[in-house]
Copies of this chain bind each other. A is one copy, B any other.
């Protein structure tokens, strides 16, 4: 954790950005919720618990900055909100997502399933792939177990 913050700090400094307490608090929240897919508002609430003075605008600005630095990825599952997902260190590709249309849960797939597919795209469409977004919509293993799933809205 501390090492990752240290590394991000250097990354910021290398472009003459500062690691302010607000930014550090924001990064810590992201690190502590690595598996989640927090919206800006979510992050704001969580940061506020420890640094109540922080403003929502600062959170937005920090998240934008971190996106630029490729520390996080900004994603969008189709509800009107942007979500921010910490990039695994050393990850060469953006991980995939499984969105359950029953309970709304979002799971991550870290493995890269697209190696072959990207080669095909590069060869056949002459398109140099730099990044990708892959999301599956369907029924997760938790919901497919139930016979008559009761509506538990896990928004």
Q: Are the CB atoms of A121 and B98 closer together than 8 Å? A: yes
Q: Which of B113, B127, B136, B139 contacts A140 (CB 8 A)?
A: B127
A131 within 8 A of B: yes
Residues of B within 8 A of A125 (CB): 98, 107, 109, 141
Q: How many copies does the complex hold?
A: 2
Closest to A130 in B: B138
In the bound complex, what is the Cα–Cα distance between A98 and B124 (angstroms)?
Answer: 12
Q: Are the CB atoms of A118 and B133 closer together than 8 Å? A: no
A residues in contact (CB < 8 Å) with B: 74, 76, 78, 98, 100-101, 107, 109, 113-114, 116-118, 120-121, 125-141, 144
Besides the contacts A107-B125, A131-B137, what 19 more A-B pairs have beta carbons closer than 8 Å? A74-B78, A98-B125, A100-B127, A101-B130, A107-B127, A116-B116, A117-B117, A118-B136, A127-B140, A128-B139, A128-B144, A129-B137, A129-B138, A130-B137, A131-B136, A132-B135, A133-B133, A133-B137, A134-B135
Can you give 9 A-B contacts (C-beta < 8 A)?
A: A76-B76, A107-B125, A114-B117, A126-B141, A127-B136, A129-B137, A131-B136, A132-B134, A133-B133
